A and B are shown apart, each in its own frame.
Chain A
Amino acid sequence: MSVEAKRRTMSLNLGPQHPATHGVLQVVLELDGETVVKATPQIGYLHTGIEKTAESKLYYKVIPMTDRMDYLAPMSNNLGFCLAVEKLLGIEVPEKVKYARVCLTELTRVMSHLVWVGTHALDIGAMSMLLYAFRERELIIDLYEACAGQRMMTTYFRIGGLAYDLPKDFDQKVKEILKKVPEGIKDYERLLNDNKIFRQRTIGVAKISAEDAVSCGLTGPSLRGSGVNYDVRKALPYGGYEKFGFEVPLGKNGDVYDRYLVRMEEMKQSLKIAKQALEGMPEGPHIAHVPGVVLPPKEDVLTKMESLIFHFKLITHGFDAPKGAVYQGIESPKGELGYYISSDGSNKPHRMRVRPPSFVNLSALPRMVEGGMVADVIAAIGSIDIVLGEVDR
């Protein structure tokens, strides 16, 4: 074989319609035999223009749009936006709201990780995992439905609190989740942890060092898999997280298997936090009393004149936010989800920037897969846990 022929590489197009790209991601791979020489992710196939659309919406009308970014973890998205606006307005929410929000967002994390473990194992070859994971996920979905009336796009958090009070059987439903999901997790671990195929496909694959991970801006489990201890809940506590006791699981090698272990452990920790939140849930109102920002109770609207006026004013005009810019970062299941809201003093955000964890994590993909095998690209894409709705927004 001549030198010229040896150097020739092949381009392989992975996606945008591919069962293992978790949506509409396209990766253009340059292959030398089976080795990946260069990987170029192409994104934007789900570009929705959410940031632009938010500029023309009243503040509270942006909340439903945030659901549709990271659709595996809608409550985390709601929480980030609501916290950012509350910071901008300087609103303090009641204690009960804090506990309820923590409880629900932690269950959201479990839900997101369940979908992740199902699809990731499916990509690697364990078909049955998807069915088991979705079985447990339905429990959390049921809780969502009881709270907000919607299965996925809940829009349950409002600026200043929750849309409605928690349902009567909230305790019972959460207790059922706390009982059944750990059993499920035990099952998954029995299926995967010592599974020879799974271990061979994941250990030592798509490694990234701690230094590179920080430079690439990785956050969330993908960063902690490399052993860097950065969790927004611990580093810069928000929304009442300082009251809960939990540990941040860390990996060592920064490969696919360590990221898997970190996420599995995170699920257990999340359930622990949810349990604490449920047990410590105080009595109180489900939404802060801030006239002009928070809608008055429905009974008052129907019986009292001032409440009706407030209601009308709020629905038609919204509220004027003070001039300034705030950033609120939260630990979403994928990593640090941040909302940068700049206000020019009007009733609509002047600019809403979302710091998308999936987008930044995806940018590290070439770093992980270049030099590896083509089959490992699938494992790597799965292990960074991207949601294309959030990557493209």
Chain B
Amino acid sequence: MEEKIRKFMQENFSDGIVREDDFRGQQSFYIRKEYLLDVLKGLKEDEDLRFEFLIDICSLDWHGDSEEANGRFEVIYNLFSLKNKYRMFIKVRLEGDNPEIDTACELWMTANWLEREVWDLMGIKFTGHPNLIKIVTPDDLVGHPLRRDFPLTYEVPRFSWNKDDPPEVIL
């Protein structure tokens, strides 16, 4: 199966592949973002491979990591083939602080909510998404919580006094 996918990718999208990764037996391809929809469509509709199940879309933020210089964000598409019982990953690196990527809503209905979640929590914009609005965070929350530069917690400063209102001195 691994060889088959490799061959398929090499034949059809040889320009689009950045590199192939095989960490702990998980086949994944880093591809250029322009090729994303073609790759997903190709994998989904190929008679032999039939990756018709989009399990998950998730995102990473490599902010502040000096080793990972080629693009701050990463979007990961987790595909599963019911026919072959095989799982693979398509990964895309995105540059800049306000990245954009094409939506997969036309291929899978499930992409709608998964992409909304990624937008809400990580701030990656999916162009062409029919309804890209906040999904889990409250409307008044500014920012995207899962970004590495978003603070985990904040404390409301409680000053009991200031210069106009000096502290009570008990004698």
Contacts and interface: CB of A to CB of B under 8 A. Distances in A.
In the complex they form, whether A and B have CB atoms below 8 Å apart is answered with yes
Given A52-B152, A351-B61, A47 B109 contact: no
A326 B135 contact: no
Contacts of B136: 43-44, 47, 392-393
A326 B152 CA distance: 24
A189 to B, nearest CB: 30
Interface string B44-66: 00000000111110111100010
B35 interface: no
B108 to A, nearest CB: 6
Contacts of A55: 148, 152
A236 interface: yes
Interface in B59-94: 59-61, 65, 68, 76, 78, 82, 85, 87, 89
Interface string A314-325: 000000000011
A393 B54 CA distance: 20
Interface hub of A230, A235, A350, A353 (most chain B Cβ within 10 A): A353
Contacts of B82: 214, 228-230, 235
B113 interface: yes
B60 A326 contact: no
Interface string B126-167: 000000001111100000011010101000000000000000
A219 to B, nearest CB: 8
A95 interface: no
Interface hub of A87, A214, A326 (most chain B Cβ within 10 A): A214
Contacts of B58: 340, 353, 355
Interface of B: 23-24, 26, 52-56, 58-61, 65, 68, 76, 78, 82, 85, 87, 89, 108-110, 112-114, 117, 121, 134-138, 145-146, 148, 150, 152
Contact of A216 (B24, B110, B146, B150): B110
Interface of A: 43-44, 47, 49, 51-53, 55-56, 87-88, 90, 212, 214-217, 219, 228-230, 235-236, 324-327, 329, 336, 338, 340, 342, 344, 350-351, 353, 355, 359-360, 362-364, 367, 392-393
A193 B2 CA distance: 46
A28 to B, nearest CB: 13
B60 A342 contact: yes
A353 B56 contact: yes
Contacts of B76: 325, 340
A344 B108 CA distance: 31
Given A216-B109, A327-B26, 7 more contacts: A52-B145, A55-B152, A215-B109, A228-B82, A236-B87, A350-B60, A355-B78
A326 B113 contact: no
Contact of A327 (B59, B78, B108): B78
Contact of A49 (B59, B114, B117, B145): B145
A393 B78 CA distance: 20
A338 B53 contact: no
Nearest to B111: A217
B87 to A, nearest CB: 7
A40 to B, nearest CB: 9
B65 A359 contact: no
Contacts of B150: 52
B108 A215 contact: yes
B110 A360 contact: yes
15 contacts: A49-B145, A87-B24, A215-B109, A217-B114, A324-B24, A325-B26, A326-B24, A340-B56, A340-B78, A350-B60, A355-B55, A355-B58, A363-B109, A363-B110, A363-B114
A367 B81 CA distance: 23
Given A44-B136, A351-B60, A351-B61, A326 B110 contact: no
Contacts of B23: 324-326
Contact of B52 (A52, A214, A326, A393): A214
Interface hub of B23, B109, B114, B134 (most chain A Cβ within 10 A): B109
A364 B114 CA distance: 12
A68 to B, nearest CB: 16
A237 to B, nearest CB: 10
A53 B138 contact: no
A336 B55 contact: yes
B135 A230 contact: no
A364 B109 CA distance: 8
A338 B55 contact: yes
A326 B26 contact: yes
B3 to A, nearest CB: 19
Interface hub of B61, B78, B112 (most chain A Cβ within 10 A): B78
